[in-house]
Structure 1
Amino acid sequence: MPHGGVLPGPARSARLALQYTASRPGVNTMPRMARHLIPALVAVALGCATAPGPAARADGVMLIQAGAFWMGRNDGPSDEAPLHRVYVRDFWLERHKVTNAEFAEFLDAVGVVSPEGEQRYDWEAADARIQPRCTHVSGTSTATGSTRDVPSRRDVPSRRDLPRLDLPVVRPCFASGTVLIWTVDPGYGHHPVAVSWLDAGACCAWRGRRLPTEAEWEKAARGDDRRRYPWGDAAPTEAHAIFGRPSGATASAIGRPGGAGPYGVHDLLGNLREWTATIPKPYPYQHDDGRESFTGAGRVVVRGASHDDPEDALSVTRRWSYDRRRAASGQHVVGFRCATSDDLGEVAPGGRR
């Protein structure tokens, strides 16, 4: 091919992937790229096979393959412009948002004193963010459909006491917009948990992971094209995402496979927005310009959309931000999922779907 010529799309992608990994000595990207990306690209380029589906581990963590993608847009809010290319190294992202049941496991594990006598989690600081003004909450059980008074913080003096009650599930309840109370309802076990940025980060650390950056989140939702939604450009429906619910409604159980993104991650739009590890800064996105450093930062970027957002709020480029230091930062519309840059190894048998 003449110098400066352009290969057909798949073949060009395969050649660029090979050139990139070969031209970066000392960077350990080739093993994972070779396992997950290059064979598929070469096969597509030669017309021998179609690309495999998303790479999934048995524990529900999805591989987001390294590469450049289109971030932002030119036809939306000013903080989403300009449309530009951003490179992201390969990483793993949990397929689903963390649920109430999973967060309860974290509470149960860290709400004790370690053998060395050092408390693993600062419950006093967490309880200081809770205002005990609400004594009972009227809640509707998703298990039975009945409405009843749900025991509140009066019955559970602090979250430190939750493990002693042998209760499998907790969920956050909000009153007057500022009160955070942990109540118990087994019907909410598979619903995404809504907690503060600090609690989300602590839970991810306990799981051996971290919160994703803003760029990682958008890469997982968008892939390598300019789609508006994780599933493509078709207008959202209830099969894709949970949105347009009355204000103050409860989040629904996780799992809208019809809205999965190009890497097999579910519920990136709808149900709950998601915390990231990025400070709000203008585009173009530069990972080394301080936006991924948290020292002294008050606000962090929130991505996605919630169950009470209108349809026009659903977009893979939409940016929100909240003050992570605020006492009420346990937003009832913000959940989280965890990521890691560690090489988690090969996918489990049948992991590609």
Structure 2
Amino acid sequence: MTRNLTLMIIVTVVLGVVAAQAEWKMVVHGEDSREEFNLAEVDSVTFYNPPPMVTVPAGIFIMGDGVATCGVDQREVTLTRDFHLGQHEVMNQEYLEAVQWAYDHGYVTATATSVRDNLDGSTEELLDLEDADCEIAFSGGTFSLRESPSSWAQSAYPGGYDPSDHPVKEVTWYGAARYCDWLSLQAGLPRAYEHNGDWSCNDGDPYGAAGYRLPTDAEWEYAAQWDDERIYPWGDEVPDCSRANFYYHGYCVGWTSPVSSYPDAPQVLGLSDMAGNVWEWCNDWEVCGLGTIPVTDPTGPGSGISRVLRGGSWGLGDSPRCALRMDYNPPVDSTNEIGFRAARTTNP
């Protein structure tokens, strides 16, 4: 697997000839844009590489399958905007590099036991470093990776393992939303989330957010079943340990597996781990019964107690159907079975 790492290179312009040649220009070309700068006025240039994402076209689908937990209700959902979705669950290495950047910029505080928010007056816990299941550590101003000393991890990988490409875990919903905002800040985009009150995403309109964010409940299921109302991300075939990391007559692995260890599903989109490995935080507040009335660009309840979790996990004993939804995890929760992937509206 090719590992995608966040790359940040600061280039300082110190050459006297540049300062003397004020007419020198720097032209930055984007896919549909062109920006020009006076080179003598450029103090630094920051390059960054966000996690790989795939484009999911807008469309209409039936949300719910009549069987899955909290997916019994079936309703027609129209999504009017294309969106980008993380090709895989956010890896430990990706989260480490982002949180180190955030710490260096004063956006978080950290101790050996916890990472907490430090923006908009928020002090919410983002990452529980104290739990033995966490594979990120902090000491002396620097974050690092470690193998989990937990009995789960050691039993699953008695010969040791590289935690860098395993999905980040022990991350709260706040820590997932915050990661999305770090990506936005690095890219010069508006932050999607308020970090106080109810942590609203773009004033309650996540589809209109310009920055990175968590996928909505509807977007997640729409991508997982793309585009034929399949029961599972790979199709309608019964799940087993060759298709996903979950509990199938016993643990398939007994801990997380490196992201993209299983065939991409849905393959046409190139998404990995939409079933199993870790549950994934979504943007919406949770309600189990969604009703049957057709909706367009649904955002979920305006408030609640728990945030939606999707996709199942390595410890899930239920069948990881596309319509499966978890309904009892408050945003402060963090466990060894919860992670996330980022999203972004293509043309907000």
2:300 to 291, 294, 306: 291
1:242 equivalent in structure 2 = 245
1:279 to partner: Cα distance: 1.3
2:65 equivalent in structure 1 = 73
Q: TM-score, normalised by structure 1?
A: 0.60
Distance change (3 Å), C-alpha of 1:206 and 1:236: same
Equivalent residue runs for 1:53-92 within 5 Å? 60-77=52-69, 79-88=70-79, 89-92=81-84
Counterpart CA distance in 2 for 1:128 and 1:96 is 20
Instruction: Check conservation: 1:277, 1:292, Cα contact below 8 A.
Output: no
Distance change (3 Å), C-alpha of 1:230 and 1:127: closer
- Counterpart of 1:226, as a letter, is E
2:26 equivalent in structure 1 = none
Distance change (3 Å), C-alpha of 1:193 and 1:283: same
1:321 to 316, 323, 327: 327
Instruction: Check conservation: 1:70, 1:224, Cα contact below 8 A.
Output: no
Distance change (3 Å), C-alpha of 1:248 and 1:300: farther
Instruction: Check conservation: 2:91, 2:165, Cα contact below 8 A.
Output: yes
Select between 60-69 and 317-326 the one with higher mean Cα deviation. 317-326
Equivalent residue runs for 1:235-314 within 5 Å? 235-244=238-247, 246=251, 249-261=254-266, 262-281=268-287, 282-284=289-291, 286=295, 291=300, 293=302, 296-310=303-317, 312-314=318-320
Of Structure 1 and Structure 2, the greater helix share is in 1
Deviations 1:255-281 (A, max 9, x none): 144241142211100111100001123
Q: TM-score, normalised by structure 2?
A: 0.61
Consecutive unaligned residues of structure 2, counting only runs of 5 or more, are: 1-48, 110-114, 117-122, 152-159, 185-211
Consecutive unaligned residues of structure 1, counting only runs of 5 or more, are: 1-56, 140-149, 176-184, 345-353
Deviations 1:35-54 (A, max 9, x none): xxxxxxxxxxxxxxxxxxxx
Counterpart CA distance in 1 for 2:314 and 2:298 is 33
1:230 to partner: Cα distance: 0.7
Q: Secondary structure at 1:189's aligned position in 2?
A: helix
Counterpart CA distance in 1 for 2:129 and 2:54 is 38
Counterpart CA distance in 2 for 1:68 and 1:127 is 37
Counterpart CA distance in 2 for 1:222 and 1:309 is 19
Of Structure 1 and Structure 2, the greater strand share is in 2
- Counterpart of 1:198, as a letter, is Y
1:202 equivalent in structure 2 = 178
1:19 equivalent in structure 2 = none
Distance change (3 Å), C-alpha of 1:275 and 1:128: closer
Distance change (3 Å), C-alpha of 1:316 and 1:95: same
- Counterpart of 1:86, as a letter, is V
1:330 equivalent in structure 2 = 334
What RMSD in Å do the two structures reach over aligned CA positions? 3.6
Counterpart CA distance in 1 for 2:165 and 2:129 is 26
